[in-house]
């Protein structure tokens, strides 16, 4: 491993190299050791710098990428095949990943929200107007919208046309 003087630019370039590597290897099992060897730094240093710069750990970022692969292929591929293709190892890991990131099971996502109740609300925050939607499992969507934006509702209806939707507090 090489010793390089640490600058802000160097740190961000290190993270950038990691992001590119993780994106290219998102369907594989990538360990922190693999990633650290690729960029030429220690595992500890990489984990610390990546987390500080990106706001999440390398592992969490890789899980997000795997989740995106699962979602893009969920409609036409068996869950076990998807899990194996993305290096998750089992359908239960794929299931847990989707539930934790999307607040819906693979079947609910595949069936476009059938049997799911989605509650939503608009609200003002210090960062602007927001839209939040949730299921009984957690937050499904959080985005910032224009003051008169109802596009968030349209998007929700397009993505999950079979779900029951209503504003927070609906019965």
- CATH number (domain holding residue 163): 3.30.160.70
**Can you give the pTM of this predicted structure?**
0.75
> How many structural domains does the chain have?
2
Q: What is the pLDDT of residue 169?
A: 53
Q: Are residues 89 and 124 in the same domain?
A: no
CATH number of the domain within which 90 lies: 1.10.10.60
Task: Give the mean pLDDT of 146-162.
Answer: 86
Is residue 95 situated within a structural domain?
yes
Is residue 43 situated within a structural domain?
yes
Is residue 109 situated within a structural domain?
no
Q: Are residues 60 and 90 in the same domain?
A: yes
The string of DSSP letters for 49-64 reads HHHHHHSS-HHHHHHH
Is residue 2 situated within a structural domain?
no
Q: Are residues 134 and 87 in the same domain?
A: no
Is residue 3 situated within a structural domain?
no
* Token pair of 161 as six digits: 């046309």
CA distance 30 to 61: 11
Average pLDDT, the chain: 89
Q: What is the pLDDT of residue 146?
A: 85
Residue 149 has pLDDT above 80, yes or no: no
CA distance 94 to 71: 10
- 34: domain range? 8-102
Q: Are residues 61 and 128 in the same domain?
A: no
Kindly give the interhelix angle for 32-39 and 58-73, rounded to the nearest 10 degrees: 110
Nearest Cα neighbor of 128 from 154, 149, 159 is 149
Q: What is the pLDDT of residue 124?
A: 87
Three-state DSSP at 127 gives coil
């Amino acid at each position: 491993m090489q010793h390089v003087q640490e600058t802000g630019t160097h740190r961000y370039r290190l993270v950038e190299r990691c992001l590119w590597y993780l994106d290219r290897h998102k369907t594989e099992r990538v360990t922190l050791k693999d990633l650290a060897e690729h960029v030429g730094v220690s595992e500890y240093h990489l984990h610390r710098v990546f987390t500080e710069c990106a706001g999440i750990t390398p592992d969490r970022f890789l899980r997000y990428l795997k989740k995106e692969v699962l979602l893009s292929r969920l409609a036409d591929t068996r869950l076990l095949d998807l899990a194996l293709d993305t290096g998750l190892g089992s359908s239960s890991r794929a299931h847990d990943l989707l539930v934790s990131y999307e607040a819906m099971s693979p079947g609910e996502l595949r069936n476009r929200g059938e049997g799911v109740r989605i509650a939503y609300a608009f609200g003002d925050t210090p960062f602007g107007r927001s839209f939040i939607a949730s299921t009984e499992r957690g937050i499904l969507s959080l985005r910032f919208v224009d003051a008169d934006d109802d596009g968030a509702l349209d998007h929700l209806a397009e993505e999950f046309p079979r779900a029951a939707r209503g504003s927070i507090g609906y019965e």
